[in-house]
């Protein structure tokens, strides 16, 4: 008999956010690959990094949203996979703490990189 993948309630907020972040990531990646396939890569960079201030802010916001959703989706998936493998009690809390701290560090570095790339610093 197949194991149930999800260790969280299907009616809960974590289940909904996991599905929502997956949909967002698929849409953003589809848009990116569509631009790469149908438009010359140089035009995509020009489009995304245009010199208008609003475009820079929009590009920055898109990068941060992608980073946050990918981080949540990945960390939530790893944590649930470990819970399904039998992680319990103190180990569960320690692993969750390590994943949260690592995610926070990743997001801080991602924001710094996004600010540097867009020139909004």
pLDDT at residue 33 above 70? yes
Confidence label for 47 from pLDDT (cuts 50, 70 and 90): low
Find, among 96, 68, 71, 101, the residue nearest to 82 by Cα: 96
Question: With pLDDT > 90 as the criterion, what percentage of the chain qualifies?
Answer: 29
66-85 burial, b for 16+ CB within 10 Å, e for fewer?
bbbbbbbbebbeebbebbee
Place of tokens 């990743």: 106
pLDDT tens digit sequence for 96-108 = 999 999 999 999 9
Confidence label for 1 from pLDDT (cuts 50, 70 and 90): very low
pLDDT tens digit sequence for 61-92 = 888 898 999 999 999 888 888 888 888 889 99
The residue ranking higher by pLDDT, 79 or 120, is 79
Stated pTM of the model: 0.71
Confidence label for 2 from pLDDT (cuts 50, 70 and 90): very low
């Amino acid at each position: 008999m197949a194991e149930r993948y999800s260790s969280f309630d299907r009616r809960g907020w974590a289940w909904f956010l996991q599905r929502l972040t997956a949909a967002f990531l698929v849409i953003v990646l589809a848009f990116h690959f569509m631009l790469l396939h149908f438009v010359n890569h140089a035009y995509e960079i020009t489009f995304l990094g245009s010199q208008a201030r609003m475009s820079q802010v929009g590009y920055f916001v898109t990068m941060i949203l992608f980073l946050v959703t990918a981080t949540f989706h990945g960390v939530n998936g790893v944590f649930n996979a470990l819970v399904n493998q039998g992680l319990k009690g103190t180990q569960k809390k320690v692993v969750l703490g390590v994943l949260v701290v690592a995610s926070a560090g990743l997001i801080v570095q991602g924001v710094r990189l996004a600010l540097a790339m867009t020139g909004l610093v």
